[in-house]
Amino acid sequence: MNDSNRIRLLWISFLSYALTGALVIVTGMVMGNIAEYFNLPVSSMSNTFTFLNAGILMAIFLNAWLMEIIPLKRQLLFGFVLMVLAVAGLMVSKSLALFSLCMFILGVVSGITMSIGTFLITHMYTGRQRGSRLLFTDSFFSMAGMFFPIVAAMLLARHIGWYWVYACIGLLYLGIFVLTLCTEFPVLGKKDADTQQPIAKEKWGIGVLFLSVAALCYILGQLGFIQWVPEYATKSFGMDINQAGKLVSDFWTSYMIGMWVFSYVLRFFDLQRIVTVLASLSTLAMYLFVNTDNPQYFQGGATPPYLGYYMIALGFVSSAIYTTLITLGSLQTKVSSPKLVNFILTCGTVGTMLTFVVTGPIVAKGGAHAALTTATGLYAAVVVMCVLLGFVTKHRRHSHVTH
């Protein structure tokens, strides 16, 4: 594979994560306008966005097998057709059923591209370099999540239709489409691309189970925590919504910085050991946040200082956990397996789907503090899984294998 082709594959991976980030994070910006468009309360409208998450989950799960049947290039080209149809459907949609179908299609397109983007990174890079590249790729999810809400705000402030936000997001897939046309993709199948010999099936091992549970607990814990922080801060400490929002903003800002820092730092540490340390520090930061009962306010009613510090620390040290878990999973076999990588991605996406299913009843019964305590327990479970992984992991023997 020549360098220019590798760079194109790398940018397809970057844009695939940016596409998913834009679609998921922009939801909160446009939900009110869409609810008004369909004459529905926001609470009812939010349920229809489950179709987006369902599409992402289904696509990631099924693409573990489809990658070996349908060439990657063909999938991405067909995805562009689906993207155009979905955006066009949103523009002409007058019914909630058509809107939900279009959101599901957008989810499917997003899941396909994200699963392909993840596999391309695990296929092109090995060992610790794989982890740092995957982490840098994941930062494009957050970058799109910072950029597209600004775009949405500009369009909506000028009373431009909400569906043009999705048209702008579609430009990301236009970039993927153009790059795909002039790029050669790895061919997946039952034979080695170089030797044409049958590829021996490798057992995944119990380490994959530990990593999958860790991925689910991490995503469920992170989203369950961050979704209820504003409620907890306003109800428990009398903060206004701007102060509570700043806590969330501090988390994602430090999360982004952490991604960039660890994309360099991971090259110098054993992945299983560093993810165990990061998960432990994240659990500690979350525990301190949840158990700060009497924070002192700055003069003038600013955000309680310790809460802000804990959020910044949590965002920074937790930023590398998820991608490192995926990287460790890809290194449990000699040749990176799309089924294995997609299985761990699927478990993480299940965590996303379960966020309100799990935390909703907990909040109803014990309040937001109970949900944050549950999230802390889930992070502690990640630490346990990472420690157990240390006894069975195969990543050290596969770290220097090339494709």
Question: What CATH number does residue 23 fall under?
Answer: 1.20.1250.20
Whether residue 22 sits in one domain with residue 152: yes
pLDDT tens, N- to C-terminus, the chain (403 residues)? 688 998 999 999 999 999 988 888 777 678 778 888 888 876 666 667 778 888 988 998 888 888 888 899 999 999 999 999 999 999 998 888 999 999 999 999 999 999 999 888 888 887 667 778 888 888 888 788 778 878 888 888 888 888 999 999 999 999 999 999 999 988 776 555 444 455 556 678 899 999 999 999 999 999 889 888 888 888 877 777 677 777 887 888 888 899 889 988 888 888 899 999 999 999 999 999 998 765 444 334 445 567 888 999 999 999 999 989 988 888 888 776 778 888 888 898 888 888 878 888 898 888 889 999 999 999 999 999 999 999 988 876 655 544 4
21 touches 52 (CB < 8 A): no
Structural domain boundaries enclosing 244: 206-398
82 touches 29 (CB < 8 A): no
62 touches 116 (CB < 8 A): no
**pLDDT value at residue 400:** 53
**pLDDT value at residue 200:** 57
Q: Does 187 reside within a domain?
A: no
Q: Does 164 reside within a domain?
A: yes
Q: Does 193 reside within a domain?
A: no
**pLDDT value at residue 191:** 53
Beta bridge pairs of residue 191: 198
pLDDT digits (tens, 9 = 90+) for 172-185: 999 999 999 999 98
Q: Does 196 reside within a domain?
A: no
Q: Does 214 reside within a domain?
A: yes
Phi, psi (deg, nearest 5) at residue 198: -60, 140
Domain termination residue (choose one: 125, 147, 181):
181
105 touches 55 (CB < 8 A): yes
- Dihedral sign for Cα 221, 227, 229, 235, please: negative
Whether residue 218 sits in one domain with residue 120: no
78: amino acid identity, one letter: F
Angle at 339 between CA 335 and CA 340, to 5 degrees: 65
Q: Does 290 reside within a domain?
A: yes
State the DSSP string of 90-148.
HHH--SHHHHHHHHHHHHHHHHHHHHHHHHHHHHH--HHHHHHHHHHHHHHHHHHHHHH
* Domain count for the chain: 2
Whether residue 382 sits in one domain with residue 271: yes
Whether residue 248 sits in one domain with residue 171: no
Whether residue 104 sits in one domain with residue 147: yes
Whether residue 154 sits in one domain with residue 300: no
Domain termination residue (choose one: 133, 166, 181):
181
Whether residue 386 sits in one domain with residue 257: yes
Q: Does 210 reside within a domain?
A: yes
Whether residue 390 sits in one domain with residue 258: yes
Q: Does 256 reside within a domain?
A: yes
Whether residue 150 sits in one domain with residue 63: yes
357 touches 171 (CB < 8 A): no
Whether residue 171 sits in one domain with residue 71: yes
Chain Cα centroid distance, residue 169 = 17
**pLDDT value at residue 403:** 42
Whether residue 217 sits in one domain with residue 307: yes
Domain termination residue (choose one: 181, 198, 222):
181
Whether residue 234 sits in one domain with residue 297: yes
Q: DSSP letter for 295, please.
A: P
| Predicted model pTM | 0.80
**pLDDT value at residue 48:** 72
Residue 295, C-beta contacts closer than 8 angstroms, at least 6 positions apart: 237, 304, 305, 306, 307
Beta bridge pairs of residue 198: 191
